[in-house]
Structure 1
């Protein structure tokens, strides 16, 4: 990578910055407190008619107004009157999330929440240089050290604390050169990342096409076909059937009464209570879980999970599904469906793959009962239809999909690793250049 070349270019002379966490800087650079570089702005909107802006660690400052679809809500606030005004080029900081990089220079005029801080860079400095400097991991760590609060979720970086942080200050012409260099290099890196993300999307689409074809046409391209009678499934092989889930599955979820009056989480519980985000496409994500007692789980037998049950989110991430592979370990939480196979003529792994196919997801999307958060009602889920062959063929198809999917997953994993490497390189390059470890002019 070009970074190898860039890292070999260093300034002739360095000096101790006098700041432990900054280390050495080029001899002719300065260190100043942020209060001598920025001025806090506290101008308020008179009527709240300006565009509402937001800031995140990933995208910087964005125009929230442009991203809200018809009927959506910009904010829960009753009025935007009194919100802080932002001019194009102002630094916007979310005082509650500055520690994770939620700050940036605004490319828009607009307004932001009163909980944000607005700063304006004094003349004689380059905004793009400070855009890169103030979003480095080096400075995020300093925001965290200077924030008030006991736990991470309660940290606040107030103006006095932000202003007290020391900033590296190169000469103006070098600020300009550094900003231009990083604009060019980061654009190229972002383009490379975007290409790899597109490749991942294509691989996922190809995987879905393979699954769809296998669970609606089988593995024999020469077999005679018949009309399934289901628009989203189309033609299926002779000897296959297309049936609604209600004819071979028991489908249920917690009632409102059970969740409100009986349900109780238990930090020392033995049974994992699965929530929507725990259910991914074909697998469980148990990185964050909550639990209930075994006694409570046993008292709610209808929603207790057993081996070969399938869990299916009814809100939010509808379309995902996962197979339960052991008894007495899991229970469904609110808004999760338990799908229990009641036919020995259905192979669980084949059934899971059918639920994850385009044919099923198209039916789910059609039956989505909400204009906001996606929702599938239990009654609608019971009427979803899938196609299936005799049991032995189901097993062959399932094995085929498993083998082919693994090849796709390996390729996807490789692309994801390449993206991670590029992101790490980008962060390292920015840090090296803005702190003077690498000379670019």
Structure 2
């Protein structure tokens, strides 16, 4: 470890050096068995130990409780728990309430030198996880394990218990603020989904500038809205002079991270390993719809780029509103309607012909624009809250760097 003995940022009144300890000096292994009256807790890479028994809704899959609880491990507030198979990825944390955990987990009792919740922040820092990774054994990552005899050799520096308490209180408040922002963001996204449902079912209807009803909507094939559309394929010969390794390449990761507008990409065609047989050059301000991975993801590219055959790209007619079509396809992706079109016997893909013939409600252009503008304002508010949340998370990372040794 570094020889540094004090953090860069410190609360007033604390001046003593932080002491280096092996985890085996401040933890002893707990091997107490659980019982049926206790709730089963889990430990995850992103959140540490759960503060309640996770149900099917939370996990997104059916939860199976083993019939035999005799091997489950009883844990108490302050105990440390880690998943032997995933500790190297961050599956480690401190228990917030009494319960029991899987027999595949290792549990440990904190010594009097620790304010237990302090270690939830100390041990989940990148620097500590790197140590855990280096001390985990396995032929491949899939087989890596952190055994107790290796865990006890992990090094950390700890301050006095009163300083541990002050640091923990600071990060607890920061986590509470982050949680509040996360909940506000979830509520905003749910609000938008509610509006989408009501708008496209016409429970909510827009009026023209004179306060009159717009004409009735028509159902049209998606191909009605674009003047040119296709999946990635061989570029036209007239485009070949623009085709070189510097062309930005659009991946599904770009769409999921940037959302409504694509303003940059992480790869070029060369880096993506593509050649002339598997990409199409797409002009800026096209609508791009994913047919394979993350089926139904949709975006508008603000820069010229290339797409693979997994993407269907559309150049929208001037008589239609691209933002309206974006909003409808986003709604289509999140509704169960998309399941009707996914090909059976595949990994959940759509083909180009199916995409062309998707039925889309078609208001007149003026109403398309009103709908798009309303939903875009909601998107802007959501984006603002997402940025604020991201800033808070980055702030926490910075404090974790500066307030620990």
TM class, shorter-length: 0.5 to 0.7
2:260 is matched with which residue? 282
TM-score by length of 1: 0.60
Matched, 1:416 2:389: yes
1:40 is matched with which residue? 29
Q: Is the 8 A contact 2:287 2:316 kept in 1?
A: no
CA positional deviation for 1:321? 0.9
Residue by residue, what CA displacement relative to the aligned partner does 1:243-278 show, whole Å, maximum 9, x if unpaired? 233562699989xxxxxxxxxxxxx99895744774
Separation (CA, whole Å) in 2 of partners of 1:180 and 1:330: 52
1:191 is matched with which residue? 176
Separation (CA, whole Å) in 2 of partners of 1:272 and 1:81: 51
Matched, 1:121 2:106: no
Instruction: Give the 3 Å change call, closer, same or farther, for CA 349–315 of structure 1 in structure 2.
Output: same
Separation (CA, whole Å) in 2 of partners of 1:180 and 1:83: 34
2:219 is matched with which residue? 243
Instruction: Give the 3 Å change call, closer, same or farther, for CA 349–8 of structure 1 in structure 2.
Output: same
Instruction: Give the 3 Å change call, closer, same or farther, for CA 409–367 of structure 1 in structure 2.
Output: closer
> Which among 104, 111, 122 is matched to residue 101 of structure 2?
111
Separation (CA, whole Å) in 2 of partners of 1:64 and 1:252: 48
Separation (CA, whole Å) in 2 of partners of 1:327 and 1:5: 45
1:385 is matched with which residue? 360
Secondary structure, counterpart of 2:400 in structure 1: helix
- Please list, as runs of the form range in 1=range in 2, the aligned pairs for 1:299-314 lying within 5 A after superposition: 306-307=282-283, 310-313=287-290
Matched, 1:320 2:306: no
Structure 2 residues not aligned, in runs of 5+: 1-7, 233-244
Secondary structure, counterpart of 2:289 in structure 1: strand
Matched, 1:8 2:43: no
Separation (CA, whole Å) in 2 of partners of 1:191 and 1:31: 30
Secondary structure, counterpart of 1:58 in structure 2: coil
Instruction: Give the 3 Å change call, closer, same or farther, for CA 345–40 of structure 1 in structure 2.
Output: same
Separation (CA, whole Å) in 2 of partners of 1:305 and 1:208: 33
1:329 is matched with which residue? 306
Q: Is the 8 A contact 1:273 1:291 kept in 2?
A: no
> Which among 155, 169, 181 is matched to residue 166 of structure 2?
181
Residue by residue, what CA displacement relative to the aligned partner does 1:105-162 show, whole Å, maximum 9, x if unpaired? 2334223262x43323356754334334333445334334544579878765332222
Q: Is the 8 A contact 1:271 1:331 kept in 2?
A: no
Instruction: Give the 3 Å change call, closer, same or farther, for CA 340–421 of structure 1 in structure 2.
Output: closer
Separation (CA, whole Å) in 2 of partners of 1:10 and 1:71: 45
1:162 is matched with which residue? 151
Instruction: Give the 3 Å change call, closer, same or farther, for CA 269–66 of structure 1 in structure 2.
Output: same
Instruction: Give the 3 Å change call, closer, same or farther, for CA 248–147 of structure 1 in structure 2.
Output: same
Separation (CA, whole Å) in 1 of partners of 2:118 and 2:318: 66
Residue by residue, what CA displacement relative to the aligned partner does 1:380-425 show, whole Å, maximum 9, x if unpaired? 99454323324xx489669957985796477436523542354246
1:294 is matched with which residue? 275
Q: Is the 8 A contact 1:367 1:380 kept in 2?
A: no
TM-score by length of 2: 0.64
Separation (CA, whole Å) in 1 of partners of 2:114 and 2:363: 67
1:58 is matched with which residue? 46
CA positional deviation for 1:311? 3.5
> Which among 378, 395, 400 is matched to residue 427 of structure 1?
400
Instruction: Give the 3 Å change call, closer, same or farther, for CA 95–288 of structure 1 in structure 2.
Output: farther
Instruction: Give the 3 Å change call, closer, same or farther, for CA 418–270 of structure 1 in structure 2.
Output: closer
Instruction: Give the 3 Å change call, closer, same or farther, for CA 87–211 of structure 1 in structure 2.
Output: closer
2:61 is matched with which residue? 72
How many residue pairs get matched? 366
Instruction: Give the 3 Å change call, closer, same or farther, for CA 154–221 of structure 1 in structure 2.
Output: farther
Q: Is the 8 A contact 2:223 2:356 kept in 1?
A: no
Matched, 1:355 2:334: no
Residue by residue, what CA displacement relative to the aligned partner does 1:264-320 show, whole Å, maximum 9, x if unpaired? xxxx9989574477446323584489845335427xxxxx67446643346885663
